[in-house]
């Protein structure tokens, strides 16, 4: 299921200007859809969708459905489908890691079946502090919660993989994380001015972004 989530997310992030879900695909429906016809002896056996599978807490369809919903919600928020095409800064065959930027977001995919990477260096164009907005390893999505989603990633002013800056992340095996830059300059300015109320307002705004 981890690999299934990665394939969905990378298709959504790199695929173009649209993403098509067919009935039941959002939660991994186990059967095909086939309406009565001469070729199946006019059978109604597969002319149905088992939407009840999502409501069963003992099955993993619910987790995949939650991931699909979060992915769609995140796209609605950041709008990558109507943004310019992504810049792919890394395609590492040995590590099986793909990194790209689109819609102001940093996307990191580890497709390796067994290797997790600590302090993995990735290039990013925009300097700042980044926070996770989507992790495929979240327990709600059937993941193992190996990624602390309150982690902040700080860029270093040093070119890497053709980008102006780099940051370092922990990226577990068969996991994807999508990160967004924080509005640090507002927080720093407000603290310099000792405007506590403004700091609180900025931090509250950050939590909604």
Q: What is the DSSP string of 6-47?
A: HHHHHHHHHS-S-----TTGGGT-SS------GGGTT--TTS
β-bridge partners, 163: 160
Which residues constitute the domain of residue 164?
A: 85-186
Same domain, 129 and 58: no
Residues 132 and 156 in one domain: yes
Q: Give the Cα separation of 189 and 102 in Å (integer).
A: 27
Residue whose token pair is 């109507």: 82
Do 76 and 100 fall into the same domain?
A: no
Q: In which residue ranges of the chain is pLDDT below 70?
A: 24, 183-209
| Domain assignment present for 126 | yes
Question: Total structural domains in the chain?
Answer: 2
CA distance 112 to 198: 44
Q: What is the pLDDT of residue 156?
A: 96
Asked if 95 and 112 count as a contact pair (C-beta separation under 8 A), the reply is yes
Residue 164: how many CA atoms within 13 Å on its side-chain side?
Answer: 4
């Amino acid at each position: 299921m981890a690999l299934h989530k990665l394939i969905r997310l990378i298709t959504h992030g790199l695929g173009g200007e649209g993403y098509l879900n067919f009935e039941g695909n959002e939660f991994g429906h186990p059967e095909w859809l086939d309406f009565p016809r001469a070729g199946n002896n006019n059978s109604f056996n597969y002319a149905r969708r088992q939407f009840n599978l999502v409501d069963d807490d003992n099955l993993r369809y619910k987790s995949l459905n939650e991931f699909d919903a979060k992915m769609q919600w995140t796209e609605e928020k950041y709008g990558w489908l109507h943004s310019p095409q992504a810049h792919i800064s890394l395609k590492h065959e040995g590590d099986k890691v793909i990194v790209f930027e689109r819609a102001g977001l940093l996307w990191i995919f580890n497709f390796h079946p067994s290797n997790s990477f600590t302090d993995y260096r990735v290039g990013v164009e925009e300097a700042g502090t980044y926070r996770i907005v989507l992790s495929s390893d979240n327990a709600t999505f059937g993941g193992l919660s190996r990624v602390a989603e309150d982690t902040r990633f700080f860029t270093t002013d040093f070119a890497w993989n053709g980008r102006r800056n780099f940051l370092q992340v922990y990226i577990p095996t068969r996991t994807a994380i999508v990160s967004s830059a924080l509005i640090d300059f507002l927080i720093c300015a407000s603290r310099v001015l000792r405007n506590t109320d403004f700091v609180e307002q900025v931090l509250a705004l950050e939590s909604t972004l």
